[in-house]
A and B are shown apart, each in its own frame.
Chain A
């Protein structure tokens, strides 16, 4: 029950089966962009995409999350009840890997109950990449088109059918639930998958050699490359908001009449206000420091703390930057400067 085949004409039945039991999130196209949304009844998601514009982190780490509600002048705090189990359909391996990386931080020392509860309630059905995007470089940072880290079930498109491999008990349970739609995978299927994945791996055109970067970054603290890179930076939050491993948030109180809530929302280290002290002092006063912090956080600090690079090579920041600030290019310059 670990490797099964799903014929493509059974796809909608398979989705219907999952949706019958749990809330299913799947990539949905809205105009030119793609993001994960709860599947409407009867809808069948298309799996024909390179990757979503907004990473699936939104499901386990919503952009705005109420921590608790209260009434002004009263002491009771009401903690919202988190939704039940969810299935994420069509998660790319890089995004799933990002979740397991971010989880290390949310587990560090003190558990973050909101993130972890949502994460535990989510079953990740991955979709191996057969046609990687232009700026994918997952193989350079420890991932791959069929990386299984963080996933419960991996699907691979074999043309006529999908190969479904259960990776965890949660994944096995999904397969069991949909048993009557599946067939035991023939021996050749796994080899066929290897072929698809191998071709995808070859198709990844961008790469960066990360050896020595985490150790070398502190030595480049005052290097002119930061000024050079930051000069063109607009200081917007696109790269960080849409990064699957970025996890910084802000906590604010919002009040309407006598009702209030304390909630957290995504924040970006590219904003000046992010580190601004109430006194007016800012430890990172310009875009140079902020750009340097972004790269250092992913490629140095996180490595020091959790022994893994906090970048999965999904290429979103490269694709979506309005002024072509290219992470791979920055890393190449870092490497050169070492």
Chain B
């Protein structure tokens, strides 16, 4: 992969923790890569696996889902469901040959601006290593 490749990352952040954490990172002037396109959802449990697949189909090179730490969910248990669901999606995607570096999940609380930076850095680095994800793009194929 050429050095200049900048991956396109779609991040689904829960409203109560991770979005606030990313916000904190911003207000504390923590520098993190600008490859992230944030979509705010009310809870990580809201993330339908189809969201992830659609992001990849429409041109994302990597997807990140981030929510509250287990036990801290604003809705008590949403992230527990998300953990099962997306863990399974990760297994499935890996099995059909989608690079596991393209999909990450993290717990970032509202106070973890610095953790947010690390998570983003890792997601972007991984996606950069994995390279542009051409195979699955809608428009690349028979459009």
B interface residue numbers (CB < 8 A to A) = 58, 138-139, 142-143
Q: Which B residues touch A304, using CB under 8 A?
A: none
A residues 213-272 touching B (CB-CB < 8 Å): 256-257, 259, 261
Let me know if A46 is at the binding interface, CB within 8 A.
no
Compute how far the CA of A66 lies from the CA of B143 in the bound complex, rounded to whole angstroms. Answer: 8
Known: A64-B142, A261-B143. 9 other contacts (CB 8 A): A66-B143, A69-B143, A256-B58, A256-B138, A256-B139, A256-B143, A257-B58, A259-B139, A259-B143
Q: How many interface residues does chain A have, given as a range?
A: under 10
Interface of A is mostly: strand
* Chain A min CB distance to B62 (Å): 19
Q: Which B residues touch A259, using CB under 8 A?
A: 139, 143
Q: Which B residues touch A257, using CB under 8 A?
A: 58
Of the A-B pairs whose beta carbons lie under 8 Å apart in the complex, a sample of 5, sorted by A's number, is A69-B143, A256-B138, A259-B139, A259-B143, A261-B143
Compute how far the CA of A261 lies from the CA of B138 in the bound complex, rounded to whole angstroms. Answer: 12
* Chain A min CB distance to B21 (Å): 30
Q: Which A residues touch B139, using CB under 8 A?
A: 256, 259
Q: Which A residues touch B138, using CB under 8 A?
A: 256
Residue among B58, B139, B142, B143 with max Cβ neighbours from chain A (10 Å): B143
Compute how far the CA of A257 lies from the CA of B139 in the bound complex, rounded to whole angstroms. Answer: 10
Please give me the 10 A-B residue pairs with the lowest Cβ-Cβ distance, nearest first: A256-B139, A256-B138, A256-B58, A261-B143, A64-B142, A259-B139, A256-B143, A66-B143, A259-B143, A257-B58
Q: Which B residues touch A66, using CB under 8 A?
A: 143
Q: Which A residues touch B58, using CB under 8 A?
A: 256-257
Compute how far the CA of A259 lies from the CA of B58 in the bound complex, rounded to whole angstroms. Answer: 12
* Chain B min CB distance to A37 (Å): 14
Compute how far the CA of A253 lies from the CA of B3 in the bound complex, rounded to whole angstroms. Answer: 37
* Chain A min CB distance to B66 (Å): 25
Nearest residue, chain A, Cβ from B58: A256
Q: Which B residues touch A69, using CB under 8 A?
A: 143
Compute how far the CA of A64 lies from the CA of B58 in the bound complex, rounded to whole angstroms. Answer: 19
Q: Which B residues touch A64, using CB under 8 A?
A: 142
* Chain A min CB distance to B137 (Å): 9
Nearest residue, chain B, Cβ from A64: B142
Mask, A259-292, CB within 8 Å of B = 1, is 1010000000000000000000000000000000
Nearest residue, chain B, Cβ from A65: B142
